[in-house]
C-alpha cells in the first residue's frame, strides 16, 4: 500500500485486493471533516454521482446514454468509525497535473486529443445533469492506453431537471467552490452558476496545456481573481499556439457564461474540424501518448509525485 495522491479533501492510497493481483485506488476521507449532517451528505454525493454515471440511463434528449466511459469506476464504498473509503479503478498513468508539472507544456496535437476527450466527457456529463465544478489537471487521470479519466466528483452537483436545448433556462446553484486558478467569473462574483463553469475550467486547462502557465497567472490570489474578472486572454509570442486553438480558448473564456461554448455547440467548433465525434465519444481514437509503464514492476508508480510516494501510508493527517 502506498500514497499516490493527496488533494484538499482526501488521501489516495494504491492497494492490492487480498488474494489477487487487482490494484485499486482507495480514496480515504476523514468523517470528522463533515461537521454537520449537510456536510456528510455532500461527502456521499461523490459515490452517488459516480454510481449514476457508471450505469446507462435516459438523458435529457430522451436518448439512452451508455455509462460515461471517461468517468472513473467506483467499485465499493466502505467506512470505519473515523473514515469513509471509496475503492476506485487504479489508473497508472498518473494525472494531467503531474504530467504538466514535469513537461511544462504539451504538443498541440496531444493537447487537441485531450481537449477532444474532455469535450466528449463533459458533454455526456452535462447531458446527464451533472456539473463537475472542480475541473483541473490534477483531477484528470491518464489510463494505461493514454485516454483521459475524470475523477474527484467531491464538489459535483447533479440537477434533476436538465435543459434539453440551448435556450432553456438552466438550473443553477449558489455555493462557492472550485480551485482558484480554474474558477469562473460568475462563481467569483457570487452569482448563480451552472454547467458553463466546467466550460470555463476547460478553457483554462487547454490554455495551460498549450502555453505552460495559466491565462490569469498572478503573484497573489486576490490579483488572480481580479484578472479572472477583468483581463482579456493574451497569448505570449514565444509559444506557437494554432489560431483555431486560440479561438476555441477565447470562446470558452467568455466572462459572461451565456456567451460560452456549451454542450450544444462545442463539438461543431472549427478546432475540431474533421473529427468524428462518434469515434471520440466511444474512445476509439488512438491516444498520441501512451504512459510509460514498467511491466516488470508489480506496482508501477513512476507517473505519480515522489512527495506522495514518500509519505507513510497511514490515515492520520
Ligand atoms: N483512480 C485513481 N487512479 C490513480 N490515481 C488517482 C486515482 N484517484 C485519485 N488519484 C490521485 O490522487 C489525487 C487526489 O485524488 P482526488 O480524488 O482528486 O482527491 P481530492 O478530492 O482530495 O482532491 C489525484 O489528483 C490523483 O493524482
Ligand atoms: Mg482532486
Residues sharing a CB contact under 8 Å with residue 162, sequence separation 6 or more, in sequence order: 59, 60, 126, 127, 128, 129, 171
Of the residues 89, 95, 134, 152, which is catalytic?
Answer: 134
| pLDDT over 80 (residue 305) | yes
Task: Using the mean position of ligand 2's atoms as its centre, give its distance from the Cα of residue 248 in Å.
Answer: 25
- State whether the beta carbon of 140 lies less than 6 angstroms from ligand 1: no
Least confident of 101-105, 238-242, 294-298: 294-298
Query: Rounded to an integer, what distance in angstroms lies between the CA atom of residue 15 and that of residue 2?
Result: 7
pLDDT in tens, 89-131: 999 999 999 999 999 999 999 999 999 999 999 999 999 999 9
CA-proximal residue: ligand 1, atom 25 (nearest): 138
Centre of ligand 2 to C-alpha 152, Å, is 5
**Side-chain-facing half-sphere of 176: CA atoms under 13 Å:** 6
Range of the domain at 221: 95-309
What b/e sequence results for 126-161 when a residue is b if at least 16 CB atoms lie within 10 Å of its CB, and e otherwise? bbbbbbbbbbbbbbbbbbeebbbbbbbbbbbbbbee
Which residue lies with its CA nearest to atom 11 of ligand 1? 5
Residue 75 backbone dihedrals phi, psi, to 5 degrees: -95, -50
Is residue 252 scored above 60 in pLDDT?
yes
Q: In the prediction, which pLDDT does 125 show?
A: 96
Residue 64 lies in a domain: no
In a domain, 182, yes or no: yes
**46 within a domain of the structure (yes/no):** no
Identify the pLDDT of residue 309: 86
Q: Would you say residue 294 lies in a domain?
A: yes
Q: At residue 250, what are phi and psi to the nearest 5 degrees?
A: -60, -35
- Is residue 247 among the annotated active site residues? no
65 pLDDT tier (thresholds 50, 70, 90): confident
* Inside any domain, residue 274: yes
Q: What is the C-alpha separation between 7 and 308, in angstroms, rounded?
A: 11
Could you identify the residue written with the cell 485516454?
147
Place of cell 470505519: 80
CATH of the domain at 184: 1.10.510.10
pLDDT exceeds 70 at position 26: yes
pLDDT of residue 69: 95
Q: Is the CB of 210 under 6 A from ligand 1?
A: no
Ligand 1 within 6 A of CB of 177: no
pLDDT in tens, 260-279: 999 999 999 999 999 999 99
Most confident of 13-27, 106-120, 160-174: 106-120
User: Going by CA atoms, what residue is nearest to atom 22 of ligand 1?
Assistant: 7
pLDDT of residue 237: 93
State the Cα–Cα distance between residues 20 and 163, nearest whole angstrom: 45
Q: Which atom of ligand 1 is nearest to the CA of 11?
A: 22
Is 160 among the domain residues? yes
> Ligand 1: which of 1, 71, 152, 291 to mutate, most ligand atoms within 8 Å of CB?
152
CA of 21 to the centre of ligand 2 (A): 26
Instruction: Provide the 8-state DSSP code for 138.
Output: G
Q: Give domain status of residue 185, yes or no.
A: yes
What is the pTM assigned to this prediction? Answer: 0.94
Q: For residue 299, what pLDDT is reported?
A: 80
Task: Work out which ligand 1 atom sits closest to the CA atom of 10.
Answer: 22
Q: Is 191 in the pocket of ligand 1 (CB under 6 A)?
A: no
Banded model confidence at residue 202, pLDDT cuts 50, 70, 90: very high
Least confident of 84-93, 178-187, 210-219: 178-187
CB of 9 within 6 A of ligand 1: the answer is yes
Q: What is the pLDDT of residue 317?
A: 47
CA distance 136 to 95: 10
The rounded Å distance from CA 151 to ligand 2 centre is 7
- Substitution candidate for ligand 1 out of 141, 180, 304, 313 with most atoms within 8 A of CB: 141
Whether 256 maps to a domain, the answer reads: yes
- Tell me what pLDDT residue 63 has: 78
What's the domain count of the chain?
A: 1
Cell of 123: 458533454
Amino acid at each position: 500500500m502506498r500514497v499516490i495522491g493527496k488533494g484538499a479533501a482526501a488521501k489516495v492510497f494504491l492497494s492490492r485486493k487480498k488474494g489477487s493481483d487487482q490494484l485499486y485506488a482507495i480514496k480515504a476521507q476523514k468523517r470528522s471533516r463533515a461537521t454537520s449532517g449537510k456536510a456528510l451528505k455532500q461527502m456521499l454525493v461523490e459515490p452517488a454521482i459516480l454510481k449514476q454515471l457508471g450505469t446507462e440511463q435516459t438523458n435529457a434528449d430522451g436518448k439512452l446514454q451508455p455509462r460515461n466511459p471517461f468517468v472513473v469506476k467506483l467499485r465499493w464504498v466502505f467506512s470505519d468509525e473515523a473514515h469513509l473509503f471509496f475503492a476506485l479503478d487504479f489508473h497508472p498513468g498518473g494525472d494531467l497535473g503531474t504530467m504538466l508539472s514535469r513537461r511544462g507544456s504539451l504538443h498541440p496535437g496531444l493537447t487537441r486529443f485531450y481537449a477532444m476527450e474532455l469535450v466528449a466527457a463533459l458533454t455526456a456529463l452535462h447531458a446527464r445533469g451533472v456539473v463537475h465544478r472542480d475541473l483541473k489537471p490534477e483531477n484528470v487521470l491518464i489510463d494505461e492506453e493514454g485516454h483521459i479519466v475524470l475523477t474527484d466528483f467531491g464538489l459535483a452537483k447533479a440537477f434533476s431537471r436538465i435543459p434539453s436545448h440551448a435556450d432553456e433556462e438552466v438550473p443553477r446553484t449558489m455555493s462557492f467552490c472550485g480551485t482558484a486558478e480554474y474558477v469562473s467569473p460568475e462563481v467569483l462574483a457570487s452569482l448563480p452558476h451552472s454547467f458553463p463553469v466546467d466550460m470555463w475550467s476547460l478553457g483554462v486547462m487547454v490554455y495551460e496545456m498549450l502555453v505552460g502557465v495559466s491565462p490569469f497567472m498572478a503573484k497573489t490570489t486576490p490579483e488572480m481573481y481580479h484578472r479572472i474578472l477583468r483581463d482579456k486572454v493574451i497569448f505570449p509570442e514565444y509559444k506557437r499556439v494554432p489560431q483555431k486553438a486560440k479561438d476555441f480558448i477565447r470562446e470558452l473564456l467568455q466572462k459572461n457564461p451565456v456567451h460560452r461554448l456549451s454542450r450544444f455547440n462545442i463539438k461543431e467548433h472549427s478546432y475540431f474540424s474533421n473529427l468524428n465525434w462518434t469515434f471520440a465519444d466511444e474512445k476509439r481514437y488512438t491516444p498520441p501518448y501512451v504512459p510509460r509503464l514498467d511491466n516488470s514492476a508489480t506496482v508501477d508508480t513512476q507517473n505519480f509525485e515522489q512527495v506522495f510516494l514518500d509519505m507513510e501510508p497511514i490515515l492520520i493527517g
